């Protein structure tokens, strides 16, 4: 060490290293050493900067603002090492690369120098505000807000790093990272049809099923028409689209009303769609209280045939459960 000077009764040291042209300053405070470069080549200016730095550090120490512990950058490096070693071959490479990109581009520049114990729910909220206002559109100057999913993925990566710090004892507990002010990030309202709108819809699908734009689209148009008839019935009014798409004949039990009303018309249309999907005429379903499919118990191998009383036809049921909309059917 070429030169060394003591200030404030030996509490502050100003020195210059052999391989540097700038003056450094250091002090011992609160049980640990602190060092910083003054970025000055002049000794007089370096002493002034060192005294201001010491007094500021002393004030933070008295106010309890000096935090000791591992920084977020250190915890992120530990997370990288553990995550790569413990999930080798178990996680998609693109998913892992997304974690590294979020750390490098967004999280480390904001949290990098902070001690992990300084990361509070308030600081995480400041990060959300920073992400929502930091980017500006080059033409309009408006803030370019990231999507809800993007912020969610960044918070997931942040939680991974904080859990790593918690496991190693660098953090007492992981703070609450849930977004405030918004109970649900995705709010949507399901659409519905009035009787007039529904009539317009199924008449349009019926015309398309009878006269498709291309002959090879006939089967798809017929399936769409039957699906429209089936989905708007009272029995399926509160059923999700995916559940109706994967419904099986064995689980069907739909009442067929006899009183004339638009609701009974819906049920009759649905029964028609189910019957045609399973290659059974509608006349078998009229007058029945329910539409019941074959049960697993007692089912025989091969096709099972029934011939109802006073009927001219035979309904053939498959020996295994068949989805409603999996077979070519005739349009109604």
How far apart CA 81 and CA 106 sit, in angstroms, is 19
| Domain match, 54 and 150 both | no
How crowded is the C-beta side of 1, counted as CA atoms within 13 Å? 10
CA distances from 293 to 60, 94, 216, 296, 323 (A): 77, 46, 31, 10, 11
- Considering the domain boundaries, does residue 273 fall inside one? yes
| Domain match, 158 and 209 both | no
- Considering the domain boundaries, does residue 325 fall inside one? no
The mean pLDDT value for 50-79 works out to: 86
Which residue range is the domain that position 272 belongs to? 195-295+302-317
- Considering the domain boundaries, does residue 327 fall inside one? no
Structure tokens given for 84: 């790569």
| Domain match, 200 and 307 both | yes
| Domain match, 83 and 134 both | yes
Q: Which of 63, 95, 112 is the last residue of a domain?
A: 63
| Domain match, 33 and 81 both | no
Question: What proportion of the chain, given as a percentage, has pLDDT over 70?
Answer: 66
Average pLDDT of the chain, as a whole number: 75
- Considering the domain boundaries, does residue 250 fall inside one? yes
Q: Which of 29, 63, 97 is the last residue of a domain?
A: 63
pTM of the model: 0.48
| Domain match, 110 and 44 both | no
| Domain match, 238 and 313 both | yes
- CA 198 to mean position of chain CA atoms: 33
The mean pLDDT value for 267-285 works out to: 43
Of residues 254 and 92, the one with the higher pLDDT is 92
Of residues 247, 306, 245, 310, the one with CA closest to residue 279: 306
Q: Which of 34, 63, 92 is the last residue of a domain?
A: 63
| Domain match, 265 and 199 both | yes
- Considering the domain boundaries, does residue 176 fall inside one? no
- Considering the domain boundaries, does residue 181 fall inside one? no
| Domain match, 163 and 238 both | no
Residue 3 reports pLDDT greater than 90: no
| Domain match, 114 and 48 both | no
- Considering the domain boundaries, does residue 329 fall inside one? no
| From 111-115, 134-138, 240-244, 263-267, the region with the lowest mean pLDDT | 263-267
| Domain match, 138 and 91 both | yes
| Domain match, 307 and 202 both | yes
- Segment of 92-106, 229-243, 260-274 carrying the highest mean pLDDT: 92-106
Total domains, the chain? 3
- Considering the domain boundaries, does residue 186 fall inside one? no
Q: Tell me phi and psi for residue 320, to 5 degrees.
A: -125, 160
């Amino acid at each position: 060490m070429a030169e060394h000077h003591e200030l404030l009764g030996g509490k502050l040291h100003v020195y210059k290293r052999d391989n540097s042209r700038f003056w450094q300053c250091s002090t011992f405070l609160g049980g640990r050493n602190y060092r910083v470069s003054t970025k000055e080549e002049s000794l007089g200016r370096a002493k002034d900067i060192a005294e201001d730095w010491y007094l500021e550090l002393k004030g933070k120490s008295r106010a309890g603002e000096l935090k000791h512990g591992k920084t977020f950058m250190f915890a992120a490096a530990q997370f990288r090492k553990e995550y790569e070693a413990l999930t080798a071959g178990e996680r998609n490479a693109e998913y892992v690369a997304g974690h590294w990109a979020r750390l490098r581009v967004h999280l480390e520049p904001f949290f990098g120098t902070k001690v992990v114990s300084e990361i509070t729910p308030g600081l995480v909220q400041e990060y959300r505000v920073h992400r929502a206002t930091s980017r500006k559109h080059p033409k309009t100057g408006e803030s370019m807000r990231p999507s809800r999913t993007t912020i969610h993925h960044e918070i997931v990566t942040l939680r991974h790093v904080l859990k790593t710090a918690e496991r190693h004892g660098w953090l007492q507990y992981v703070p609450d990272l849930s977004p405030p002010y918004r109970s649900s990030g995705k709010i949507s309202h399901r659409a519905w049809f009035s009787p007039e709108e529904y009539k317009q819809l199924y008449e349009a699908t019926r015309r398309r099923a009878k006269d498709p734009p291309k002959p090879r689209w006939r089967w798809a148009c017929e399936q769409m028409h039957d699906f429209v008839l089936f989905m708007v019935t009272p029995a399926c009014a509160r059923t999700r689209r995916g559940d109706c798409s994967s419904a099986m004949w064995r689980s069907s039990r739909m009442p067929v009303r006899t009183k004339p009303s638009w609701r009974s018309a819906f049920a009759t249309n649905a029964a028609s769609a189910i019957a045609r999907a399973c290659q059974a005429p509608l006349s078998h379903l009229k007058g029945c209280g329910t539409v019941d499919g074959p049960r697993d118990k007692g089912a025989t191998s091969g096709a099972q045939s029934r011939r109802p009383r006073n009927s001219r036809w035979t309904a053939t049921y498959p020996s295994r459960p068949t989805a409603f909309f999996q077979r070519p059917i005739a349009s109604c």
